[in-house]
A and B are shown apart, each in its own frame.
Chain A
Amino acid sequence: NAGVTQTPKFQVLKTGQSMTLQCAQDMNHEYMSWYRQDPGMGLRLIHYSVGAGITDQGEVPNGYNVSRSTTEDFPLRLLSAAPSQTSVYFCASSSTTSGRKNEQFFGPGTRLTVL
């Protein structure tokens, strides 16, 4: 299993540009989520999904969109990038039914800089 994969690893955007951060998992997990981590801070939840076709907002959803058309993929879209969105973005997945439910598996992160 590859686990949770994220692309790209690094990205530089100009203010106003849009882009999509990709996240995929091959563990057949129902639950997926996106977090951002600013320097010296803990992780903050952006959006999450409890299954294909179902998404909901976390603590800091403004400026981001998500969709979940398949169990495996959960892309995060930045509609119009702003310098305040400079951060490290982590995707995570977990099972809601297996014996290891509630253990979240995190991807390696995408480091985004908005100029």
Chain B
Amino acid sequence: DAKTTQPPSMDCAEGRAANLPCNHSTISGNEYVYWYRQIHSQGPQYIIHGLKNNETNEMASLIITEDRKSSTLILPHATLRDTAVYYCIVRVSNTGNQFYFGTGTSLTVIP
């Protein structure tokens, strides 16, 4: 699975959009980009995933560049409850579902 690079920490004002970047320059054509988050010491929570096209769900949007070497997770209106560590993971979809987490980005939403 390709490695990912994320900034260790970011701040965002409450109510503003939070844009979390992820570099995955060695991604292969059949690897998906996944985002999970971990609030405090809870188990990680799935947010969104995509292959090539931009994706949106009730939690967030995922923007993948055309060359697929980087992506951005967007939380459109950040709230204090979005304070968490966000993990970007790239992996092949059908390889047994095991995930390899990095250290992620610690997002702090400021009132």
Query: From residue 13 to 68 of chain A, which have CB atoms closer than 8 A to chain B?
Result: 31, 33, 35, 40-45, 48, 50, 56, 58-59
Q: Are A42 and B97 in contact (CB under 8 A)?
A: no
Residue in chain B with minimal CB distance to A88: B41
Residue A94, interface by CB 8 Å:
yes
Residue A69, interface by CB 8 Å:
no
Q: Are B98 and A48 in contact (CB under 8 A)?
A: yes
Interface size grouping (class) on chain B: 20 to 34
Q: Are A45 and B98 in contact (CB under 8 A)?
A: yes
Known contacts A31-B96, A48-B96, A102-B32; A42 and B101 CB within 8 A of each other: yes
How many residues belonging to A are interface residues under a CB distance threshold of 8 Å? 29
Q: Are A42 and B98 in contact (CB under 8 A)?
A: no
Which residues on B sit within 8 Å (CB–CB) of A74? none
Known contacts A102-B32, A108-B42; A44 and B101 CB within 8 A of each other: yes
Query: From residue 26 to 48 of chain B, which have CB atoms closer than 8 A to chain A?
Result: 32, 34, 36, 41-46
Which residues on B sit within 8 Å (CB–CB) of A7? none
Residue in chain B with minimal CB distance to A96: B97
Count of A-B contacts with CB under 8 A? 60
Complex Cα distance, B45 from A11, in Å, reads: 24
Complex Cα distance, B42 from A109, in Å, reads: 7
Which residues on A sit within 8 Å (CB–CB) of B36? 104
Q: Are B46 and A104 in contact (CB under 8 A)?
A: yes
Chain B residues at the A interface, C-beta cutoff of 8 Å: 32, 34, 36, 41-46, 49, 87, 93, 96-104
Question: With A43-B101, A58-B98 given, can you name 18 additional A-B contacts, CB distance below 8 Å?
Answer: A33-B97, A42-B87, A42-B101, A42-B103, A42-B104, A45-B99, A45-B100, A48-B96, A48-B98, A50-B96, A50-B97, A56-B96, A92-B43, A92-B44, A102-B32, A104-B36, A106-B43, A108-B42
Chain A residues at the B interface, C-beta cutoff of 8 Å: 4, 31, 33, 35, 40-45, 48, 50, 56, 58-59, 88, 90, 92, 94, 96, 101-109
